[in-house]
Amino acid sequence: MGLRNFVDKIKPTFSEGGKLSFLHSTFEGFETFLYVPNTTTAKGAHIRDCNDIKRVMIVVVLALIPAMLMGMYNIGYQSQLQGLAELEGAGVFGLFWYGFLKMLPMIIVSYVTGLAIEFTFAQKRKHEINEGFLVTGLLIPMVMPVSVPLWIVALSTAFAVIIGKEVFGGTGMNVFNPALLARAFAFFAYTPQMSGEKVWYAVDGMSGATALEQLSTTGTMQWSAMDAFIGLIPGSMGETSTAAILIGAAILLFTGVASWRIMLSVFVGGLAFGYLFDAVGMTEFPAYYHLLVGGFAFGAVFMATDPVTSAQTNCGKWIYGFMVGALAVLIRVINPAYPEGMMLSILFMNALAPLIDYFVVERNIARRKKLIKNI
Amino acid sequence: MKLSKNFTNPLAANNPVIVQILGICSALAVTVKLEPALVMGLSVTFVCAFSNLIMSLLRNGIPSRIRIIVQLVVIATLVIVVDQFLRAYMYDVSKQLSVYVGLIITNCIVMGRVEAFALANKPWDSFVDGVANGLGYAFILVLVAFFRELFGSGELFGITILGDWYTPNSLMLFPPMALIIIGCIIWIHRTLNKDLQEK
């Protein structure tokens, strides 16, 4: 327990009155990262649970790992398909390693930028550092195309953390999902670097439309549904493999971290509108394709279920989830400018979530009042 | 002493845009480039100053129940003067500003200053108040347009400042970014002026 002793020894330096007391939040952040805090709340009633915010966040990070590994392999696989000379004859591990080296810098950049801003704000406002960014920092690279320059990753992370989160008061107070806000910022600010045919491959000169773009322009795609399910199609780094995302979903649902109501209703909403458009003849491919291509599954499992920005009431969760899925398919089919509707639909429903909750609560109050009257 | 306070107050501590949150609509619409933003700011300053002056001169002769219609006539006349002037001498800018020159008549700052200040104060004070409020509005517009044009197209007044290495941020050209920039200015302003912060 040498580390524990060391932490205890340097603690007074960072406490009030100590030499480095202005770094108190940083110290506390590292201390609680290493050890379970031994302080207890002084007043007020609290529900005791072994699941603190740190553990919840770690579970989400774990759930993201299958999709991330699959995404890394897919980066190499897609480049090999395009005939990249250095990957000729490379095995599974070679392809994975190639993708790993492409994705790692972005993950580092996103974490360093985001955590630096979080630490600065925590220090300035003299509160503890929250762990929310552990998930956001991993989500941001996963929803970006592989060729996006590192400075765009850094800039959109900074925008999302400052304008999307710290302005509203930090973790737990944000209206919009920060990772999606980062993607929306990058998408609208640097459209040529974020969409089109050239961005989905790691090397310059390669190009090809994603499955989603092919579906929206021609109504068919060159890959089979199985390819799309396993994730061997071009797309943002972490979103392609529906199979790996479902493993993550299983982890989230088994541990009770994410709401099954939201997850299920997003898929139901997407399918319902998919079949609707299929029935009226506006799309020419099977409705379930919508769930396999693009960021639909990723958004449904990891973004829409964000406990901070989604609806809080159970009834509200059903409405919220259904609308997310339905709007995503609606944007995909109706609006030719945005082949991917998941980002916009989740952000839009984030804004409406408090309103949904408000009406659900109001309706409940009205119903109960009526009960009293009848007695 | 009183005069100088009349003049400086609307520029910072009681700025019409970032404290009273007036004139936001045009602040979003005309701030993509510096030139139209500056022209718009000066137009509003002109309308605001002279409507204040004229209404202050007329203030004792107008029955209070018809004052709004008189104000509208005065402001509308001034707006038409500005509009015709821009069309005659600055046609390009006038085209960029399109309807927003005409819409100065609905700008809450103009009507608000006439109602709140000019009808109760002497002509010279009212004139200064109008100029100061117009300049306070123009200042924020120019500030927002500065960031939007610099980062959105890498230019200032149409002259390239940031070279080829700079990738323009197209989000800056969309109105939401103007709102975010105004929000950031308000944030900084309130951090500096602690008395403005709500409890």
Q: Which of A30-44, A130-144, A232-246 shows the lowest mean pLDDT across its residues?
A: A30-44
More confident residue, B166 or A44: B166
Q: Which two three-digit tokens encode residue A275?
A: 């079949």
What do you get for the CA distance between the two ends of chain A, in Å?
65
Domains of chain A by range and CATH? 53-366 (1.10.3430)
What pLDDT score does B80 carry? 92
What pLDDT score does B38 carry? 92
Mean pLDDT throughout B140-154?
89
Q: Is the pLDDT of residue B1 over 60?
A: no
The mean pLDDT value of chain A amounts to: 83
Measured in angstroms, the CA of A167 and the nearest CA of chain B are apart by 9
- The pLDDT > 70 percentage for chain B reads 98
Measured in angstroms, the CA of A159 and the nearest CA of chain B are apart by 11
Q: Is the pLDDT of residue A236 over 70?
A: yes
Q: Which two three-digit tokens encode residue A161?
A: 């953390």
Residue A191 · residue A175 · CB < 8 Å: no
- pLDDT tens digits for A191-206? 888 877 777 776 666 6
Nearest C-alpha in A relative to B171: A189
What pLDDT score does A360 carry? 94
DSSP string spanning A53-81?
HHHHHHHHHHHHHHHHHHHHHHHHHHHHH
Mean pLDDT throughout B110-120?
87
Q: Is the pLDDT of residue A54 over 50?
A: yes
CB contact under 8 A, B180 and A163: yes
What pLDDT score does A41 carry? 63
CB contact under 8 A, A190 and B172: no
E strands, chain B, in order: 155-156, 159-160
What pLDDT score does A46 carry? 61
What pLDDT score does A50 carry? 63
Q: Is the pLDDT of residue B8 over 90?
A: no
CB contact under 8 A, B170 and A167: no
Nearest C-alpha in B relative to A184: B171
Look up tokens 């944030």; give the residue. B187
CB contact under 8 A, A193 and B167: yes
- pLDDT tens digits for A297-318? 899 999 998 888 888 899 999 9
- The pLDDT > 90 percentage for chain A reads 25
Q: Is the pLDDT of residue B111 over 80?
A: yes
Mean pLDDT throughout A232-246?
87
- The rounded distance, in Å, linking the Cα atoms of A130 and A328 is 31
Select the residue of A163, A167, A188 nearest B170 (Cβ to Cβ). A188
Closest-CA residue to A182 (of A158, A162, A156): A156
Mean pLDDT throughout B135-152?
90
Integer CA distances (angstroms), B179 to A161, A294, B45, B170, B197, in order: 17, 31, 22, 15, 20
What pLDDT score does A40 carry? 64
CB contact under 8 A, B180 and A190: no
What pLDDT score does B46 carry? 93
What pLDDT score does B62 carry? 87
Beta strand pairing call for B155-156 and B159-160: antiparallel
pLDDT band at A88 (very low <50, low <70, confident <90, very high): confident
Nearest C-alpha in A relative to B172: A189
Q: Is the pLDDT of residue A156 over 50?
A: yes
Contacts of A153 in chain B (CB under 8 A): none
- The rounded distance, in Å, linking the Cα atoms of A152 and A139 is 15
Residue B177 · residue B153 · CB < 8 Å: no
- The rounded distance, in Å, linking the Cα atoms of A274 and A219 is 13
Highest mean pLDDT among A50-54, A113-117, B5-9 belongs to: A113-117
pLDDT band at A348 (very low <50, low <70, confident <90, very high): very high
Select the residue of B167, B174, B187 nearest A188 (Cβ to Cβ). B174
| ipTM exceeding 0.95, yes/no | no
Contacts of A190 in chain B (CB under 8 A): 167, 169-170
Integer CA distances (angstroms), B107 to B27, B37, B103, in order: 11, 15, 7
Q: Is the pLDDT of residue A36 over 80?
A: no
CB contact under 8 A, A189 and B170: yes
- pLDDT tens digits for B78-104? 999 999 999 999 888 888 887 888 888
- pLDDT tens digits for B18-68? 888 888 888 888 888 888 899 999 999 999 999 999 999 988 888 888 888
What pLDDT score does A320 carry? 93
CB contact under 8 A, B187 and A167: yes
Mean pLDDT throughout B128-133?
89
